[in-house]
Amino acid sequence: MDHSDETQVKQPVISNADAVSARVAPDGRKAFNRELSWLEFNRRVLDEAMDESLPVLERLKFLAIFSTNLDEFFMIRVSGLKEQIEEGVAELSPDGMTAAEQLREIGKRLRPMLKKQASYLKETVLPALSEASISIEPYSSLNVKDKKRLEKYFRDNLFPILTPQAVDSSHPFPYISNLSVNLGLFIEPVRQATQKNLKHLFRQKRFARIKLPPTVPRLIPISVKAQRFALLEEVIAANAADLFPNMKTGEGFLFRVTRDADIELREDEAGDLMRTLEVELRRRRFRFPVRLEVSADMPDKMLKYLTTGIGIDETDVYRIDGFVDIPDLMQLYSLDRPLLKDKPIPVVYPSVFSDKSIFDVIKRQDVLLHHPYHSFSVVSDFIAAAANDKDVQAIKMCLYRTGPDSPIVRSLIRASQQGKQVTALVELKARFDEENNIEWARRLENEGVHVVYGIHSLKTHSKVLLVVRREREKLARYVHIGTGNYNPSTAKLYTDIGLLTTDEDICVDVTNLFNFLTGYSQQDDYRKLLVAPLNLREQSVKLIRREIANKKAGRIARIIVKINSLTDDEIIDELYAASEAGVEIDLIVRGICSLRPGVKGMSENIRVRSIVGRFLEHSRVFYFANGGKPEDEEVYISSADWMHRNLDRRVEVAVPIRDEEIKRYAIDDLFGTYLKDNCNARVLRPDGTYKKVSAGSSTRFDSQMFFVGKDIAG
């Protein structure tokens, strides 16, 4: 078949009456609010933390993930809503809410969740840990010997690095850095100063702040062998007299500030993107506050002092009845207590690679990798083999999040040192990984790697690797395209899909893609790849509309999609149109889903479920029945979710699965498994709430555990 026939999805003829513009449910709401949908996702994380079937340290881990997720939510999403209010933006959300109304609803929904989290930690998780001989003991309950040991720890390890800051006319309210945990207390003199020139300093009660040093663990060992711990803040508070001699110190209360952390770069004004980003990262620490967390029993006088000094409204104050900054408790997860954690899963190194050259295997067949069940070291080994192979001429890859100590980056450096042409597209703007990526970019450049920072005004989010090798007097190309980052650490925790192939059409497309990324080529015609922002949106719409046309023609029409988030208005409208036409649609959406399923006359043929379990579901896979004949069915894996940012503001790639055996694996095993899950699945209802899928009298089926120990497809 001619390439041009395969490149684009054929556009079915659809009348204007069939096109979707503004479908609305009977109650007037077409879609769910994005921010509130995200909160419901985090509620599912909290539900996972309260699953009594999980080992106690795993439940603690989910409590920490819940809090870490919230930190990012406030730093990015809540700060964005506050900026809208500040700038007078009147645009309503898809469900008709102003920014101020969304903020109020966020607080209304979140406060009960935080109360539930704190209560479960205090009443269930910590007692369970204590039963397992892991205890966090109040300083006041310790015996004299233990207190003396901690006093010595304070003098040797804390006193020299603490900087108490009192506030008065000559000492303004200190800057409170983002996400730092602080101890607030009032101090007052116990006697008049004897030195005449100091008397004016010691006449009244003052507020003082002590920042808990981030370089010191929050849990101080009382006895390492017995796994007994005291809290850092309690050790400091008990010895506060050493920090304020001749002063009476009041009770200490914890507080923590969250600040806006969304970086906006004017790339058109940036002469040097890396330097501009470094400046913005330094400024990030001084952005405006969006949340103040305080100990629940903090007196109103101190709270008023903090809100005034920090410059935050009382509506943004969250009283925490228990431990402030739960992720600090993950220190306990590092303890050697295997019975209190999930059993490690056996990771498969695919048998197809046993005793064979990785190049020979990929040349012979496409290989689909399913992480974390298949070892990510296959990918690392492939890059290492390319670096060491004398016949490899060039390596090109996109690096979005690589981790702090990446064997992949080391392989790229080694390849460059051996004279190979190595190109690394490093996305400096990967949120919260900016500093790490700047460091890697500098190191790569210093080693002779050709480092590129991507396309102006776009983030490069695609996960693509190209290896060019000389074989029998000609050049052969090998490609890896994945749904997840080239990060061996997260590959153990996230479920992702990767394709290794030498398919000629795909290899040509990937070559052209890198020319587009590094040389600003005008390439916009790809044989097989769908590339955002060039044609991924357009082709996604055409694929959906083709299913509508097939349904109207009496052929089999079916859509199954597994993604992280679904918020794009145009795609949602197209799915509503497909539902109205009778197309059966199953969406497996881990996180945000703005689409309302199951609404009569709008989305009654759409079902949405979320899988939240041991691993973070991160793979994006798309299925279109296309009439139902096995040879015509289409499956794509992609780096992109169906979100406006992915389709219009990022460089993303979707690649078709062409190998028939791998395609059957995706349709039958992958989708079939996730749609059968009755352990980790929750179904989205038309009112926006999620209902846990119950096994009932059926056998429990855990989709994530189903894949454990299975070899590759293809």
Sequence spans of domains, the chain: 157-329, 351-519, 530-706
In single-letter form, the type of residue at position 443 comes to R
Cβ count within 10 A of residue 585 = 22
Contact 164, 237 (CB under 8 A): no
What is the Cα gyration radius of the chain? Answer: 28
Mean pLDDT, residues 327-341: 97
CA atoms of 106 and 100, how far apart (whole Å)? 10
Highest mean pLDDT among 344-348, 397-401, 693-697: 344-348
Count Cα neighbours of 578 within 13 Å in the Cβ-side half-sphere. Answer: 31
Q: Give me the helices (H) in 355-479, please.
A: 358-364, 377-388, 407-417, 434-446
Run of H or E including 112: helix 99-120
Percent of the chain with pLDDT over 90: 74
CA atoms of 562 and 669, how far apart (whole Å)? 13
CA atoms of 640 and 462, how far apart (whole Å)? 8
| Per-residue pLDDT reduced to its tens digit, 116-170 | 999 999 999 999 999 999 999 999 999 999 999 999 999 999 999 999 998 865 5
Strands 181-189 and 206-211: antiparallel
CA atoms of 630 and 377, how far apart (whole Å)? 32
For residue 425, what pLDDT is reported? Answer: 87
**In 3D, which of 169, 162, 210, 213 has the Cα closest to residue 186?**
210
Contact 461, 336 (CB under 8 A): no
For residue 274, what pLDDT is reported? Answer: 53
Mean pLDDT, residues 381-403: 92
CA atoms of 709 and 714, how far apart (whole Å)? 16
Sole residue written with tokens 């048998």? 351
For residue 521, what pLDDT is reported? Answer: 66
- State whether residue 249 is helix, strand or coil: strand
190 pLDDT exceeds 80? no
For residue 6, what pLDDT is reported? Answer: 38
Run of H or E including 398: strand 392-399
For residue 626, what pLDDT is reported? Answer: 97
Full-model pTM:
0.90
Run of H or E including 233: helix 232-238
19 pLDDT exceeds 50? no
For residue 437, what pLDDT is reported? Answer: 65
Cα dihedral 556, 562, 567, 572, rounded to 10, equals 0
Run of H or E including 636: strand 634-638
CA atoms of 621 and 586, how far apart (whole Å)? 12
Of 248-262, 553-567, 576-590, the range with the lowest mean pLDDT is: 248-262
Q: Look up residue 462 and give its DSSP letter.
A: -
**Cα 305 to Cα 162, 290, 314, 372, distances in angstroms:** 22, 17, 11, 49
CA atoms of 705 and 309, how far apart (whole Å)? 51
For residue 16, what pLDDT is reported? Answer: 34
Contact 483, 456 (CB under 8 A): no
Mean pLDDT, residues 100-116: 97
**In 3D, which of 608, 629, 528 has the Cα closest to residue 561?**
608
Run of H or E including 547: helix 536-552
CA atoms of 123 and 560, how far apart (whole Å)? 41
Indicate the pLDDT class of residue 277, thresholds 50, 70 and 90: low
**In 3D, which of 468, 459, 463 has the Cα closest to residue 430?**
459
Contact 63, 3 (CB under 8 A): no
157-329 against 351-519: fold identical: no
Domain 157-329 CATH (choose: 3.30.390.50, 3.30.1840.10, 3.40.50.300, 3.40.50.1000)? 3.30.1840.10
Mean pLDDT, residues 462-484: 95
* Residue of 169 and 34 predicted with greater confidence: 34
Q: What is the CATH number of domain 351-519?
A: 3.30.870.10
532 pLDDT exceeds 50? yes
Evaluated on CA atoms 616, 619, 625, 631, the torsion sign reads negative
Note every long-range contact of 387-391, with CB atoms under 8 Å and residues 24 or more positions apart, other chains counting: 387/411, 387/412, 387/414, 387/415, 387/418, 387/420, 388/414, 388/418, 389/359, 389/469, 391/469, 391/470, 391/471
For residue 170, what pLDDT is reported? Answer: 58
| Per-residue pLDDT reduced to its tens digit, 641-650 | 999 999 999 9
Ramachandran region, residue 558 (left: φ > 0; alpha: ψ -120 to 50; beta: rest):
beta
For residue 169, what pLDDT is reported? Answer: 56
Evaluated on CA atoms 179, 331, 46, 679, the torsion sign reads positive
Tokens of 138: 């109040």
For residue 220, what pLDDT is reported? Answer: 97
* Residue of 173 and 622 predicted with greater confidence: 622
What does the DSSP assignment read for 640-665?
--BSHHHHHSEEEEEEE---HHHHHI
| Per-residue pLDDT reduced to its tens digit, 359-391 | 999 999 999 999 999 999 999 999 999 999 999
What does the DSSP assignment read for 136-183?
E--GGGS-HHHHHHHHHHIIIIITTT---EE-BTTBPPPP--TT-EEE
Domain 530-706 CATH (choose: 3.30.870.10, 3.90.960.10, 3.30.70.100, 3.10.200.10)? 3.30.870.10
Report the chain's mean pLDDT, rounded to a whole number: 89
| Residues known to be catalytic | 461
CA atoms of 331 and 370, how far apart (whole Å)? 30
**In 3D, which of 470, 360, 451, 338 has the Cα closest to residue 402?**
451
349 pLDDT exceeds 80? yes
Mean pLDDT, residues 16-43: 74
- Rounded to the nearest 5°, which phi and psi values hold at 83? -65, -35
Contact 525, 5 (CB under 8 A): no
CA atoms of 395 and 478, how far apart (whole Å)? 10
